[in-house]
Structure 1
Amino acid sequence: MKDSGTKKKIMIVDDFEESCQLMVEILSSEFECHYVCQAEKALELIHALKPHLIIMDYKMPYVTGVELCKIIKDAPSLRHIPIIFISGAVSSDERIETLESGGDDFLSKPFHPKELMLRVKKRLQSYALESISQLKVGNLKMNLNSRQCFLDNQEVVLTPKQFETLKLLIENRNQAVSRQLFMTEIWGHADVTQRNVDSQINYLKKKINGFIGQISSVPGFGYRLDGE
């Protein structure tokens, strides 16, 4: 399982090792593939690897695919990862259950190798397009196309400068952003001072009160948004 450094990472969770190896064989020409056969160990590996997509068996002992999917979708740092369920002989109700738990797609066994490859590529492309138009951190989401901001799915009305301020913070999450960068990126060449930046940040923090992350001051430098 060679890491090219540029390939998208796929995590396969299936209690049958032969199934895992078959999917690795199909996908490894275009993706960096990893697998785990114990669902109860999968979460730790997913946190460590941060895959771009997860392929998960529906029926597994100890922890079912649906149970694991719910745990993943409840984790702020993992919930964005697309999940394709894969299994044989499941009912319509079971398929619906996988979607209700947060699954993005379902593929029945036995499957054609080309169909598996196409499903994976389609999900990765859809996620890439969504990522371009949206920024997410914790319980906060920004739609860059409609220029709307949502906190716990409730819209927060921001001024244009507050929107751009928050966007810059999220794009640089967990990193300090200098006041000078705010002034350059948001105000351009307008006649502003660092006090303008501080005011915008203070107003912004009040509007997104309830954000599960944190916007904090970096003394003598600027601000940092921390969150997953």
Structure 2
Amino acid sequence: MSIMQAQVLLVEDEPAQREVLIYNLEAEGFAVRCAENGEDAMLMVSEALPDLVILDWMMPKVSGIEVCRQLKTRDDTRHIPVIMLSARSEEVDTVRGLETGADDYVTKPYSVNELMARARTQLRRTRSGSVVALSFQDITLDPESHRVIRDDQDLKLGPVEFRLLTRLMERPGRVFSREQLLDLVWGRDIFLDTRTVDVHVARLRKTLTQQGGSDPIRTVRGAGYALG
């Protein structure tokens, strides 16, 4: 895979919450650095810019809201997406967080799966203008030109099959459940039967093998699909 692993800075002072988030972020393939307070977070940002910041509001030394404000007023960090976590669920708090510059606002308690989806969404949004080509074996996918080439032959994919192949090529070897692929390819707000995934995987397979090449998509019984 030629796309770089996303670097996430997690800023959370509660050890239990921090460990749960580290586990799930790493399971999603993110590289995670952690800070236990806002002061340390700003130091870590100065050392190396992350691709995404997941930031708790209530923290010692420097609050999350102040960290967010500082990130969004600096020329070198204002482009970094910030997801604010907070137990403050009143509308006025949400508005304050977003007006400070947070790109998303998640209230506690939250669904970890939903938070992971929101993290992926923010990264897709910020990377959409600078996506590099993906490659796997003899398959190359260029998101900018919307081209897929296999063995020097252009393949014609529909938009759904193109998005499906993109997700699989971003994480070769990883087994995606049908539910995960529905989330990643169609979005969480679209309610479809999981058999829809099977239909489009079959179409993708047909196109990938039309020149006589081997089928690179692996079906894992009871689990889902993987590339390679």
Please, what TM-score do these two structures have when normalized by structure 2?
Answer: 0.53
Distance 2:75 2:15 in 1: 29
Distance 2:83 2:129 in 1: 17
For 1:116, the equivalent position in structure 2 comes to: 115
For 1:27, the equivalent position in structure 2 comes to: 25
Residue-by-residue CA offset, 1:45-87 (whole Å, 9 max, x unaligned): 0121211000000122331111111111111111110000012
Kept in 2, the 8 Å contact 1:15–1:39? The answer is: no
* Bigger radius of gyration among the two: 1
Residue-by-residue CA offset, 1:100-146 (whole Å, 9 max, x unaligned): 111000112222221111000000011112557xxxxxxxxxxxxxx
Q: Which runs of 4+ in 1 moved over 4 A?
A: none
Unaligned runs of 5+ in 1: 133-228
The AA in structure 2 aligned to 1:11 is: L
**Helix, strand or coil for the counterpart of 1:50?**
coil
For 1:191, the equivalent position in structure 2 comes to: none
Distance 1:107 1:131 in 2: 27
For 1:216, the equivalent position in structure 2 comes to: none
How far apart are 1:89 and its partner, in Å? 3.6
The AA in structure 2 aligned to 1:48 is: E
For 1:69, the equivalent position in structure 2 comes to: 68
1:6 has 2:10 as partner = no
**Helix, strand or coil for the counterpart of 2:128?**
helix
Distance 1:19 1:65 in 2: 15
Distance 2:117 2:99 in 1: 23
Distance 1:89 1:81 in 2: 23
Distance 1:11 1:69 in 2: 12
1:112-191 equivalence runs, <5 A = 112-131=111-130
How far apart are 1:16 and its partner, in Å? 1.2
For 1:98, the equivalent position in structure 2 comes to: 97
Unaligned runs of 5+ in 2: 132-228
Residue-by-residue CA offset, 1:178-227 (whole Å, 9 max, x unaligned): xxxxxxxxxxxxxxxxxxxxxxxxxxxxxxxxxxxxxxxxxxxxxxxxxx
For 2:13, the equivalent position in structure 1 comes to: 15
User: Relative contact order, CA 8 A, sep 6+: which one is greater?
Assistant: 2
How far apart are 1:21 and its partner, in Å? 1.3
**Helix, strand or coil for the counterpart of 1:63?**
coil
Kept in 2, the 8 Å contact 1:89–1:108? The answer is: yes
**RMSD over aligned Cα, in angstroms?**
1.7
Please, what TM-score do these two structures have when normalized by structure 1?
Answer: 0.53
Distance 2:53 2:92 in 1: 22
For 1:79, the equivalent position in structure 2 comes to: 78
For 2:41, the equivalent position in structure 1 comes to: 42
Inter-CA distance 12–125: structure 2 relative to 1 (3 Å threshold): same
How far apart are 1:42 and its partner, in Å? 1.0
Inter-CA distance 131–73: structure 2 relative to 1 (3 Å threshold): farther
Kept in 2, the 8 Å contact 1:56–1:85? The answer is: yes
Distance 1:130 1:93 in 2: 33
The AA in structure 1 aligned to 2:59 is: M
Greater alpha carbon shift after TM alignment, 57-66 vs 98-107: 57-66
Identity among equivalent positions (%) equals 28
